[in-house]
Amino acid sequence: MPALQPARGTQDILPDSMRRHRAVIDGARAVAGRYGFEEMATPIFEFTEVFSRPIGEATDIVSKEMYTFKDRGGEEVTLRPENTAGVVRAVISNGLTQSMPLRYFYAGPMFRYERPQKGRFRQFNQIGIEFIGSKRSAADVEAISLGADVLQELGVLKDCVLHLNTLGDAESRLAYRGALVEYFSARRNGLSEDSRRRLERNPLRILDSKDAGDIAINADAPMFDSYLTENARTHFGEVCTGLEALGISYTLDPRLVRGLDYYCHSAFEFVTESLGAQGTVLGGGRYDGLMKLMGGPDQPAVGWAAGVERLALLIAEPPALPRPIAVIPVGPRGEEQTPIIAQMLRRAGRTVYPIYQGNLGRRIRRAVDATARAAVILGDDELARGVVMVRDLDKGEQVEVPLAELKDRLAPFR
């Protein structure tokens, strides 16, 4: 019988990778906290409508990528493909709409059925923030600044470029949509099948196509800037001015279109060339109509999400874990005392690794393989005299230490 393997598009996060993941999440959590964002979590699965209604039936996420199934009670549920809709649902469900503005940070797994590639999995992890309840352009600037500071904290901002665009307000998008429908309809035969489908439902998404034929047609498509209302133009200008005041450089990208239907006004991505074609490491924007769409009051919001796996590929090697102390019993009395001494050292804040199997030489080698800094050898004769042997595994030196002084004598071995 062949050995069982993980499902395609999933991965086991083993200790070395987990240290990188933890460094990304802990670093982002710390920065978000300095901005006043509190951590929260939503369920990994929700009723399907939580995602299908706001994300949009015409999007690839809903039509192709969601993990949707009926539970044993016959309810249709979906593993969350993203977390913004879940956070907004949580605000509505918990009666928090009277407490605006709200600032939330989150971290956790998401699920999309798509082709696995470097840094992208079917079960993947995201960090993100949602700033709900402020329509001011300053909120967009703060969200982008927070993202930049997270990347700076992780040491990767220097390798990223901020791409910035505006998706305008509802009036702007309606006018632009008409212009795109007219342009793409005249070139319908040259569009990919996906883009022909999007033409009927959400032509802005054609601008985000990765198909070579679509990219060529997009090159001469109308520009959004010509269809912006004065309100939308003013909002975007204030965002640009605010970023410049903070010293955050950006590149205007008129073809930047976020992948979800509920975005408006500011859209942004931090992009790197260090990961090849899939270069976006953090992206987001404003989504003022989402809460109303989900049955709540009409509240503005802005947020972003970033892939933990991609960021983990970019960061420097995190600091190593503290090197453990090996406790090695030699004889029955030593084995009896090992759990007691190990517990004493752990309560003193030390990482302890007991080794029971093999002869003394083999146990010492195992301690070295485990990167132990020192070994405490518990011989029966030594214990009878109230002492233990402490071996410096880096220098190979060994000294006799009174058991009562062990914690203090191990202080240099950190």
Return the pLDDT at 38: 98
Please state the domain extents for the chain: 15-169+229-314, 325-409
Residue 328 main-chain phi, psi, to 5 deg: -120, 110
Return the pLDDT at 321: 85
Q: Is the pTM of this model over 0.85?
A: yes
Provide the residue type at 110 as one letter: M
Show the tokens assigned to 232. 């939308």
CATH, domain 325-409, list 1.10.3720.10, 3.40.50.800, 3.30.1050.10, 3.30.70.2740: 3.40.50.800
Q: What is the DSSP string of 196-229?
A: HHHHHH-GGGGGG---HHHHHHHTTSPPGGGG--
What stretches in the chain show pLDDT beneath 70? 55-63, 118-119, 258-262, 276-278
Return the pLDDT at 57: 57
Q: What interhelical angle do 137-153 and 230-245 show, nearest 10?
A: 40
Q: What is the DSSP string of 265-277?
A: EEEEEEEESTTTT
Return the pLDDT at 224: 86
Return the pLDDT at 59: 58
Q: Partners of 127 in the beta sheet?
A: 107, 306
State which fold the 15-169+229-314 domain adopts.
Answer: BirA Bifunctional Protein; domain 2 (3.30.930)
Return the pLDDT at 414: 79
Return the pLDDT at 278: 58
> Would you say the CATH fold of 325-409 matches that of 15-169+229-314?
no
